[in-house]
Every structure is written in structure tokens, then in C-alpha cells.
Structure 1
Amino acid sequence: MSNTPNRFPYLRQRALGLVLLLATFVAAAADGTANYFPPRGDWERMAPAQSGFDPGRLQQAIAFAQAHEAPEPRDQAQSLAQSFGSKEPDFGGQIGPTAVRAGINGLIVHRGRVIAEFGDTHSIDMGHSVTKTFLSTVVGLAWQDGRIGDTSDRVAGYMPRDVDLFAAEHNAPITWEHLLRQTSDWQGTLWGKPDWADRPSGPKEQWPQRARHTPGSHYMYNDVRVNVLALAALQVWRQPLPQVLRERVMDPIGASSRWRWHGYRNSWIELDGEKMQSVSGGGHWGGGMFIDSWDLARFGYLFLRDGRWQDRQIISPEWIAKARTPGTDKDDYGYCNWFLNTGRKALPSAPASSVTFRGNGQNIVYIDWDNDLLIVVRWIDRGDALDQFIGKVLAARRATPQAP
């Protein structure tokens, strides 16, 4: 027996990791999950029992969700006025479009196949802050293309002379990373909305006299600052962000032509001699993504498959890793709007590795790599209704461990 020490233990560890990865891929390929991507206009279905779920318990989970529809008005103009209007100064009120939503609805996708559908999943409804995930994805594409050299770069260095978003001394150090993580503490007014107008009835720091924070040091969920990110991204792309999203993501994944990404009636700019609308990152004052549950499911499925669609790598795995990395000031939030389940604090019933894209209402895209599970549920009540629903779905699968 040789007494020569192993000088390269990391090679052995790496080889083992590759073997495990290959084994996982082979197992997935054996049941068709790794290679299935729904064609445009269709999505293969599978009976719950065939996919390892107890049909009765899965139906109980769906019934629970249907019994916990959000109580706010379905008319989103009324809902926004009820949620925010009475608590905020009137800085022009609603400046983007709204719509009357459908009732609670959703899709459950396991191993690539739809195993359950409930409610009006074809209704094109406001996505509210789920829009932020589409925005961060478009920023990620700019990073992939080299349009943004590094997310730690100051955004000011990418802006033309006539865009003074970051000219103020406080705003000058703000980086793309800060805007993506909602830690920029950007100060100013955009589209008639001062940054502190976003829920000023909340913490005192959201009032105009609040203390200032060094950019990157303090998390604060704020739609005005997300709209700053959208306008900065428009300057980098020099073409409408919905066009970028359609060409680079939504068309390749087979999404419908029915979704729309709106801005505000006063968020038009002139760029390269053309009028372009800077889109919003949510529906706080109207606007944002208007989309049905099926297109949301395709978007979520793209990330469940690690940014790959068939033989095309649409979103860089490195970008997804960055988006899933917790921020230093908030360990359960990645890039906007990646809500992490760090320590299983947000969703105790779900794996710690799962993530959700979230919007007001609630609009939820749940991505669970551990269980190869995707759930879209829209207009479910706040509180612990979401966690209970997901827990019941997962319990329905665990009830039949002998299934393939």
C-alpha cells in the first residue's frame, strides 16, 4: 500500500460531485423531467396519482386555498385606494392602469407536468410586485451581455449627461447591487412620487425627515427606487424593457402574446429620438405586469430548470446564483423580487432552498428545486394561508412515498 499522501483531495471531492450530478440528471432523464419543456399554447398534464400525489389530499389543499381568497376588492383601483390611498399624501394618486381581477386561481406543476389547475387561470390580471422579478431578470440579461460590467459598479457611470438620477452626493455611490437588493436608500422624486411616499404611514424612516443610510447598508422595500432601477436599465438597453423581455425570455419559453408590461402615463422619455415608456416595477400606483397564470408558470419553470429552456441557456446560472444569495442587511431577500426561505422563516412548511416571487394581492410563484415543484397561486389571503397551502400540497406528495 502506498504511503504517498493525496495531494489533491479537492479533485476527489469534485469528481464525486460530478458523479452525483450525473446520477441526478440520469434519474431525471429516465422519467422525462429533465427534457420536457411545454410547447407554446400547450402544457402536458398528468394525473396526481401518476406523479406521486394523493388525489384526495391534493384536492383538500386546493379547497383550502379556494377558501382563503384575499378579502380585498377585486377591482384593483379600489383595492389600491383601500390599501394605500388613505395612508399616503396624494402625489397624483393612480398614474398607471389597473384592472378587475379574477378570483383565486392557480397551477401546480410537478416534474414538469401540470397535475392541478383551479380557478380562472387564463385571466390577465395585475402581477403587482412579481413585476420586480421580470425587471431584475432584464437587468440580469444586460449583465450577461456585458452591458453592465459588474453589479458592484456605480450606476451613475452608466447614465448619460441628461439623466441626473445619481447626481446628488448621497445618490452618487449607489450601485446596481444596491438597487437590486433594495438597499440603495436613493433619495429623490421620480414620476411625481418622492421616495418617501411609498407607505409613509409605516416606519418613521419613510417620512421625508428620516435619517439617511449609507447606500448598501439598509434594506427598505420601496417602489420608487425600483422604478429608478427600471429607468436606469432603460438607459442601458436603449430599447423598451418589455421588448427586451419578449425577445430574450417570453418568446423563447413559449409564452402567449397577451401579457403586457405597463408604465405610467407620465413615465415617457425621449431616447435616441424615439418616445419610450419607462415601465414600473410594481402596481402600487397602477401599471406593472398584466399576465395570466400560465405565462407566470412558464416564467417560474424557466428558473426551476436553472435558466435553461430545451437546448438554450436563457438566463445565466451565475445570475440565478446571485439572485438567490441573501443580502447583508436582509437574509431572506435576494435580488428583487426573490424572496428566500432562509431558516424556513417565511415558509416553515417548505424547504429552506425554495424561493417565491411575490406580489400584492397575493400573487405568488413558488419554486421548489428539492421537490421539482412549481406552484402559481394568485389572490390568496395574507398571513399564514400561503404556508398552509404549500404545506398541504407537500403533505399530499409525502402521503404516497411508494409512487414514482
Structure 2
Amino acid sequence: MLNGQTDYYYPLKNSEWETKSPNDFNIESKEFYRAIEIAKESANRDTKDLRQAILKGFESEPYHQIIGPTKKRGESAGVILKNGYIISKWGDLERVDMTFSVTKSYLSTVAGIAFDKGLINAVSEPVKDYVWNGKFNGKHNSKITWEHLLNQSSDWSGELWGGLDWADRPPRQGGLDEWKFRTLNEPGTKFEYNDVRVNLLAYSLLEIFREPLPKILKNHIMDPIGASTTWRWYGYENSWINIDGVKVQSVSGGGHSGGGLFINTLDQARFGLLILSNGYWDNKPIVSDKWIKKAISPSQPNENYGYMWWLNQNKSNPHLSSISSNAFYASGFGGNYIIIEPDYDLVIVLRWFDNNKTNEFVKMIIETMKN
């Protein structure tokens, strides 16, 4: 990861993104192009009707329902950046599609804006000191800090927008009553991937910003990096609250029940380049490097997870082990990825990729960089 940032190319808003050949970076082009051809053949073959895909994918969850917008998806697409330049692209890069849990990494970055603005004094502070409407009452929930929400180790217990924390991705073994009445883990000790609690983070950030999170994302991140105006960030039909006399929707951190971020591939690539650049865009600080460092540091309950970014500490990531130990990525249902490889100044954005082939593809790309 560069410190000076001037060595990266940053595309201007509404202008053609400059491309370069892999040969310009001494990349083994024959093997690189072979990998790209494999990528083009590695599309997700499941239904493009995402409403059906969501209901099928989460059919084991009790009470699961879609309460946010969905959209039929497009074909597989992707783009690879080297030092900010496009060195490969395929598919419709301007098509706006759902991106599911990739949204979580945007949410984490919005939390970084709150941290940078002093709205959060320290991530180690209890959220109850900021959000006092009852969501963090009780012996267990009152211990939960911002960091616990960010690294998904809070084990928050409750209901939000009709979603029960214990009904979200319950274990396949044991009865529901056993899971519902389980002994809660001490906050900060156990990682549990749980969208209800992610949505609780979004709601808590809304409470301290007192403005819609899409507006925060637009004004503080997406506009400064020259993103398009086509992306949208949705919540649920029942996630509207009163903020200072104004009806505001609390957004979701994914598309598990519909909603989440709808965005095109090029905007994803801009966001990835921002994070690769340590929060800078053309030498201008957008998100503090202090926050980026926190966000991509391993957490105590899961060394391969930071603040809603997946990591590969000790080369032990079970999902994407081919990336370097300094790399990290955002991942979403259906084969959506933003993969950031600081060791090679790479950003790889994949849309609707076959998850069973992602690790092999990324390994092939990285191998071309080592020659």
C-alpha cells in the first residue's frame, strides 16, 4: 500500500477511465489473458431473478421474508485495476445491480466518517452512550461497543425491523428453541455473521449522524471519488424512523431481506481504489488512514475479519486463501467481490462470479504478477 498516493492514477468524474496493457507493468500477459478467458467462462449460472435466489438461499431461516427492494441481475462482469489503471474488463460495467454483503464494507467506511468527524470518540465505547432509546438496555446489550458491532462479535439480543437476532443464520444442528434460549456470548469473544446486528449498526450510525446514511456516503465518499449518480442504498419497507421531525429510512447492510446497495462495477472499482490508497483520492484524504488501518486489522474473535472486511491472516482464510496475507476483500451473495491486493497494487471487482472458481481465478492473476 502506497503512502504518497501520487503513484496511482485516479479517474476523473464523467471521463473515460484510462487503460493500460498488462505488458506496461511487466505482467506475464499470456497467462494473464488466459485467466481472463477463464473468468469470462466462470459466471454464476443460478437464476437472475434475485428475489427467487434470495428466498432459495435463505430458506432454512425461520420467519425469513423479503421486505426490501430487489432487482433481476445482469450477466457476469469484472474489472481489474493495476496502480489505478484498468488492465482488464468484461461485461456491462455500468449496469446497476444489487451487491448484497459487499454493502457491509461501505457501511464500515461510513462508520469511519463518523469516527473522523468525532461523532464516535472511540470504538471501544459502549453504543448505549450514544443510542439511548432502549436498543442497548440490559445486562448483556449494554456492554456492546462500536467495535463489537463492526467486527460482528456483539451477540446482541433483540429484534429489529421484524428480524430476530436468533433467527438469522441459525445453526443447522439443534432445535430453534435451543438456539433461541442459548447462553449469550460475552461481547467481543465470538464472531457471528448476522445481518440483524449489521442493520443495528446502520441504525445506530443514523442515530448519531441525524442524516440518512446514503446522503453521508454520497457527500463524504462517492462524490469526492467521482462516482456516478446511479447507485442507490435501500432499507426495508418498515425501517423508517423519525429523525428530528423528518421521516428517514434506516438502510440495510446487505440484500439478505432485500435492500442494501445497488451499484455498478466501475463505482465499486472507484471505492476499492480509495481503500487501496489508504483512504486518499489523488492526495486528498477522504477517510483517515487511521480508520483504514483499524478496519483491515484482524479482530480478536476472528483473525480473518476486521471491520466488515475479510482478511487472510497467516494465509488461513477458508474462502479466498489465494490472496496475500496483506490482502482483504468485500464479499456478497451471488459472487460479488471487491478484492484489494496492496502487495501488487491491485483492485479486482467481480460481479456474479462462480464462487467455486473465485479462489483459483485470483490465484492465477496473482501468479502473473510474480514473474
The interval holding the TM-score normalised by the smaller chain is: over 0.9
Give the structure 1 partner of residue 284 of structure 2. Answer: 312
Structure 1 CA distance for aligned equivalents of residues 305 and 254 of structure 2: 17
Q: Deviations over 1:336-370 (max 9, x none)?
A: 1x100111122333211000111111110011111
Q: What is the SS of the residue equivalent to 1:315?
A: coil
**Aligned pair partner of 2:346 in 348, 354, 373:** 373
What corresponds to 2:124 in structure 1? 152
Report how far residue 204 of structure 1 moved: 4.7
Q: Work out which of the residue numbers 168, 174, 186 in structure 1 matches 2:138.
A: 168
Are residues 1:190 and 2:164 paired? no
- Look up the SS of the partner of 2:109 in the other structure: helix
> Which letter does structure 2 place at the counterpart of 1:72?
D
**CA deviation digits over 1:22-74, x for unaligned, max 9?**
xx778x86xxx34x211012311112222322333222112222222223211
Q: How does 1:81-96 map to 2 (within 5 A)?
A: 81-84=55-58, 86-91=59-64, 93-96=65-68
Task: Report which of the two structures shows the higher radius of gyration computed on alpha carbons.
Answer: 1
Change (3 A) 1:38 1:195: same
Q: RMSD between aligned alpha carbons?
A: 1.8
SS of corresponding position for 2:228: coil
1:87 aligned counterpart, secondary structure: coil
Q: Is the 1:127–1:283 contact (alpha carbons within 8 Å) kept by the matching residues of 2? A: yes
What is the CA-CA distance between 1:395 and the residue it aligns to? 2.2
Question: Counterpart in 2 of 1:339?
Answer: 310
Of the three residues 54, 59, 64, the one matched with 1:80 is 54
2:34 is aligned to: 60
Name the amino acid aligned to 1:52: N
Q: Deviations over 1:156-195 (max 9, x none)?
A: 01014xx211112221110001000100000001000100
**Contact kept in structure 1, 2:311 and 2:327, CA below 8 Å:** yes
Between the aligned partners of 1:278 and 1:109, the Cα distance in structure 2 is: 33
Match of 2:150 in 1: 180
- 1:203 deviation in Å? 5.5
One-letter amino acid matched to 1:356? Y
Counterpart CA distance in 2 for 1:87 and 1:356 is 27
Aligned mate of 2:224, from 239, 245, 252: 252
Cα-to-partner distance string for 1:125-158 (whole Å, 9 max, x where unaligned): 1110011111111111111111111000000010
Supply the distance in 1 between the matched residues of 2:353 and 2:315 (Cα, whole angstroms).
20
Residues in 2 aligned to 1:377 and 1:205: alpha-carbon distance in whole angstroms: 37
User: Per-residue displacement from partner, 1:303-323 (whole Å, max 9, x unpaired)?
Assistant: 111100113111111111111
Q: Is the 8 A contact 2:335 2:353 kept in 1?
A: yes
Distance between the aligned counterparts of 2:25 and 2:73, measured in 1?
Answer: 31
Supply the distance in 1 between the matched residues of 2:253 and 2:172 (Cα, whole angstroms). 20
* 1:204–1:210 Cα contact (<8 Å) kept: no
Determine which of 260, 263, 266 is the counterpart of 1:294: 266
Paired letter, 1:390: V
In structure 1, how many angstroms separate the alpha carbons of the residues matched to 2:31 and 2:104?
Answer: 33
1:389 matched residue in structure 2? 361
Query: What residue number does 1:129 align with?
Result: 101
* Amino acid aligned to 2:310: F
Which whole-Å deviations, capped at 9, do the CAs of 1:77-114 have from their partners, x for residues lacking one?
A: 01101101x212235x1000111111211001112110
User: Is the partner of 2:344 in helix, strand or coil?
Assistant: coil
Residue pair 2:294, 2:307 contacting (<8 A) in 1 also? yes
Find the counterpart in structure 2 of residue 358 from structure 1.
Answer: 331
Structure 1 residue corresponding to 2:205, chosen from 213, 216, 233: 233
Report the secondary structure of 1:229's partner residue.
helix
CA deviations over 1:280-308 (Å, ceiling 9, x no partner)? 00100000000011000000000111100
19, 23, 35: which one aligns with 1:49: 23
TM-score (norm 2): 0.94
d(CA) in 1 for partners of 2:78, 2:361: 11
The 8 Å contact of residues 344 and 369 in structure 2, kept in 1 or not, is answered as no
* Structure-to-structure mapping, 1:203-282, within 5 angstroms: 204=174, 207-282=179-254
TM-score, normalised by the number of residues in structure 1: 0.87
What count of residue pairs does the alignment treat as equivalent? 366
CA distance in structure 1 between the partners assigned to 2:194 and 2:162 by the alignment: 15
Q: Is the 8 A contact 2:329 2:338 kept in 1?
A: yes
How much does 1:205 deviate?
9.4
Query: Do the aligned residues in 2 keep the contact of 1:183 with 1:215 (CA within 8 Å)?
Result: yes
1:348 to 1:132, Cα distance in 2 relative to 1, 3 A: closer
Equivalent of 1:200 in 170, 184, 187: 170
Q: CA deviation at 1:382?
A: 2.1
Q: Secondary structure at the match of 1:263?
A: strand
- More off after superposition, 182-191 vs 205-214: 205-214
CA separation of 1:233 and 1:204: change in aligned 2, threshold 3 A: farther
Does structure 2 conserve the Cα–Cα contact (< 8 Å) formed by 1:340 and 1:355? yes
Partner SS, residue 290 of structure 1: strand
Whether the 8 Å contact between 1:121 and 1:292 is mirrored in structure 2 is yes
- 2:83 is equivalent to residue 111 of structure 1: yes
Q: Aligned letter for 2:233?
A: W
Superposed displacement of residue 250, structure 1? 0.2
Distance of aligned partners of 1:154 and 1:205 in 2 relative to their CA distance in 1, 3 Å threshold:
farther
Pairwise CA distance, 1:391 = 1.2
Q: Which amino acid aligns with 2:315?
A: R
